[in-house]
Structure 1
Amino acid sequence: MKKYVILTGFALVLASCGTQKAVPVAAAEKAPEAKTAVELTPELAEGKNLYENSCAKCHKLYEPVKFSKEEWAPILVRMQKKAKLDDVKMASITNYIHSQL
């Protein structure tokens, strides 16, 4: 009998780990709304190209919407130095990221 109680408890623990948890209503309300894709101008396309090719050399790329403009500012400054990008290229990358927010 004791084995059945232990096995039942173990099965319940495993089952609870495998179930999908519901998202609380408050968290769902805070989720960002789906933004329509911004059409990339040639300048923004160049910024995207620079972002994808310069930044991906050293690390995985983050979606621009992962951070706010305020959070991106110090990241971009720090990465400009490490990637050895001039101000014109960095401005292009920054404009692309801001256009996606």
Structure 2
Amino acid sequence: MDDLKVKAYKSILFQALLDIRQLSGSIVWDEQPRAEEGIQQSLTTNVVQQTQEIFHISNAYHNLGDALINDLADFNEENFWNQIDHLSSTFASFKHYKLLYEQYMMKKK
């Protein structure tokens, strides 16, 4: 696979790791439990949402790191992009992966 494509995939993997870091950091550091029941329920719902987002990002990207070790040999791009499409349709805040990839690939032209 060409170097630009490998770099583009590395870039979106790095972005996914940054997103996971931000989401998990917000669970660990920002969400201080409060005694009021309504606020506690809201925080619990938010933590569940963030945990689901972390899971889906991790699930979509779990094979990419391994594939990058081998310069994407035997990498199933169609399956990967199907997972990314599912991720971005489930969580609107994650549409940037495909856009970031496309920006890298535009440098080729």
Range class of TM-score, shorter chain? 0.3 to 0.5
Instruction: Indicate the structure with greater helix content.
Output: 2
Q: Which has the higher contact order (CA 8 A, sep 6+)?
A: 2
What TM-score, normalized to structure 1?
0.35
Rg larger for? 1
TM-score normalised to structure 2 length: 0.33
